[in-house]
Amino acid sequence: MTQFLSLLLNGISLGAIYALIALGFVIIFKASEVVSFTHGSLLLLGAYSIARLSDPLGFYLAALVGIAITALAALIVERLIINRLRGAPVISLAIVTIGVDIILLTELIRRIGSDILNVPHPWGGGSFRMGDIGISQNRLIATVVAGVLIALFFVAFKYSSWGVSMRASAEDGETAALMGIRLGRVSALAWVVAGVLAGVAAMFLVGSPTPGVSPAVYTVALRAFPAAILGGLDSTGGALVGGLLIGMAESLAAGYQDQLLFLGRGFGDVVPYVVMIAVLLVRPSGLFGTKELTRV
Partner 1 sequence: MSEATATSPGATRAVPRAAPEPRRSYVRPLVLVILLVVLLALPIYVEEFWLRTGFAVCGAIVGAIGLNLLVGNTGQLSLAHAFFLACGAVTYVFISGESGGIGLADLSGLGWPPLIGMIAGVLVAGLAGLLFSPIAARLRGIYLGVASLGLVFIGQHVLNSWTSVTGGFNGRSAPEFVLFGFTFGNRDPELFVVGVPFREAERLWYLGLVLALAAYLFARNLLRSRAGRALQTLRDSEVAASVMGVNVQRYKARVFLVSSMYAGLSGVMYALSIGSIAPESFGLEVSILYLAMIVLGGLGSVGGSVLGAIFVSALPLIFQRYADAVPLVGEGGLAAGEAARYLFGLAIILVVMFEPAGLAGLAGRFRRKGRDPGGGRATRPSSAATSSSTTDVPSDRPAQGSTT
Q: Which is nearer to partner 1, 204 or 225 (CB)?
A: 225
Compute the half-sphere exposure of residue 127: CA atoms within 13 Å on the CB side of its CA: 13
Stretch that binds partner 1, among 10-18, 50-58, 249-257, 286-294 (CB under 8 A): 286-294
Q: Are 43 and 108 in contact (CB under 8 A)?
A: no
Which member of 20, 233, 246, 287 binds partner 1 (CB under 8 A)?
A: 233
Long-range contact list for 273-281, CB < 8 A, 24+ apart? 273/223, 273/226, 275/226, 275/230, 275/245, 275/246, 275/249, 276/226, 276/229, 276/230, 276/246, 279/230, 280/229, 280/230
Angstrom distance (rounded) from CA 168 to CA 180: 11
Which member of 179, 209, 266, 290 binds partner 1 (CB under 8 A)?
A: 266
Least gap, CB of 100 to partner 1 (angstroms): 7
Residue 265 binds to partner 1 (criterion: CB under 8 A): yes
Q: Are 43 and 198 in contact (CB under 8 A)?
A: yes
Residue 276 binds to partner 1 (criterion: CB under 8 A): yes
Residue 285 binds to partner 1 (criterion: CB under 8 A): yes
Angle between helices 183-205 and 2-32 (to 10 degrees): 160
Q: Are 162 and 172 in contact (CB under 8 A)?
A: no
Least gap, CB of 289 to partner 1 (angstroms): 8
Q: Which is nearer to partner 1, 145 or 222 (CB)?
A: 222
Residue 294 binds to partner 1 (criterion: CB under 8 A): yes
Residue 245 binds to partner 1 (criterion: CB under 8 A): no
Angstrom distance (rounded) from CA 224 to CA 24: 10
Least gap, CB of 64 to partner 1 (angstroms): 29
Q: Which is nearer to partner 1, 174 or 292 (CB)?
A: 292
Give the residues lining the site for partner 1 (CB under 8 A): 35, 81, 84-85, 88-92, 94-96, 98-103, 106-107, 110, 219, 222, 225-226, 228-229, 233, 263-267, 269-270, 272-274, 276-277, 280-281, 284-286, 292, 294, 296
